[in-house]
């Protein structure tokens, strides 16, 4: 019996999703071809075969992270789920699994990791002011 497909993103799938999210963040949210994705990955130092990238895109469609936007070649794809949605979901799962649902334990662990820079402290202060 075949193992059911994982709903979580693998490291490589996440790399592909970042290509789509980075394009959206920069204001050019036009759909991408597999070749576009492969070229963007190469620019980040990740040289994957075309077939590998095509397989990753296919898997991301099956997992409902990407959608094909046309029916003629070259096929175009765009993100269905936003960075905010996916990162929030992954972070929530991690907090639940690793820290027993305690955001306080997560924050304490982050603070123990290394000393915050002045910029990080300022951002944290701004967030706390906004949330209170």
Residue 53 near residue 13, CB atoms below 8 Å: no
Instruction: Give per-residue pLDDT as tens, 62-109.
Output: 999 999 999 999 999 999 999 999 999 999 999 999 999 999 998 888
List, in order of start, the domains of the chain with CATH numbers: 11-79 (1.10.10.10), 84-131 (no CATH)
Is residue 56 within 8 A of residue 13, CB to CB? The reply is yes
- CA-to-CA distance for 40 and 84, rounded, in angstroms? 21
- Strand positions, DSSP E, 1-132: 66-68, 77-79
pLDDT class for 47, splitting at 50, 70, 90? very high
Long-range contacts of 36-39 (CB under 8 A, 24+ apart): 37/77
Which residues, listed in sequence order, are joined to residue 33 by a DSSP beta bridge? none
- Tally of CB atoms within 10 A around 32: 25
Report the predicted TM-score, pTM, of the whole model to 2 decimal places.
Answer: 0.82
Positive or negative: CA dihedral 116, 119, 121, 123: negative
Q: Are 85 and 42 in contact (CB under 8 A)?
A: no
Contact 15, 41 (CB under 8 A): yes
pLDDT tens profile 13-26: 999 999 999 998 88
């Amino acid at each position: 019996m075949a193992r059911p497909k994982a709903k979580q993103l693998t490291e490589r799938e996440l790399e592909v999703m970042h290509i789509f999210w980075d394009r959206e963040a920069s204001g050019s949210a036009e759909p991408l071809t597999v070749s576009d994705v492969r070229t963007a990955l190469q620019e980040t130092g990740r040289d994957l075969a075309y077939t590998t990238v095509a397989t990753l895109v296919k898997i991301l469609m099956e997992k409902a992270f990407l959608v094909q936007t046309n029916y003629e070649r070259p096929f175009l794809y765009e993100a269905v789920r936003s960075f905010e949605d996916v990162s929030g979901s992954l972070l929530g799962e991690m907090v639940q699994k690793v820290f027993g649902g305690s955001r306080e334990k997560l924050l304490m662990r982050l603070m123990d990791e290394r000393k915050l820079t002045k910029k990080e402290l300022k951002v944290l202060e701004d967030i706390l002011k906004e949330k209170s």
